[in-house]
Structure 1
């Protein structure tokens, strides 16, 4: 089961909304929820695109973490475009 780091409560994969930004606790990497696998894992994809991976321990991001991650992804996109 996916668990939150903050309060230790269990977050069932079906409770992770598709398209939500979540933190993979094991990797320390945030990703967008792309799907669920067998009720024990969530498939995440990096915010800027890339390969999906399975995460079994995820948590919601704090507002501060989400802002930092979204800003970093935007900055990377602008760098790639040469702006």
Structure 2
């Protein structure tokens, strides 16, 4: 499988829309854009809630990755009874 560096084009933090699903290139974690900091970093939050983190290199997930991410989040919510 290709690395996260090869799978998508990086998006500048200033171009990230609030509420968009993005992948942190460094960690491979996925989150929802909650804010931007001086167009240098993006604040991401996990889909099912939790603590925000800063990411300076992000990309949009591929269609397949987004489907897997959303199905995983739905299954997790179902396991929690929500």
Is the shorter-chain TM-score for this pair beyond 0.5, marking a shared fold? Answer: yes
Q: Which structure 2 segments of 5+ residues have no match?
A: none
Q: Which structure 1 segments of 5+ residues have no match?
A: none
> In structure 2, how many angstroms separate the alpha carbons of the residues matched to 1:81 and 1:69?
19
* Structural mapping, 1:1-83, within 5 Å: 5-6=5-6, 11-81=11-81
In terms of fraction of residues, the more strand-rich structure is: 1
What is the TM-score normalised by the length of structure 1?
A: 0.85
- Runs of 4+ more than 2 Å apart: 4-12
For the Cα contact (< 8 Å) 2:14–2:40, is it kept in 1? no
Aligned residues: 79
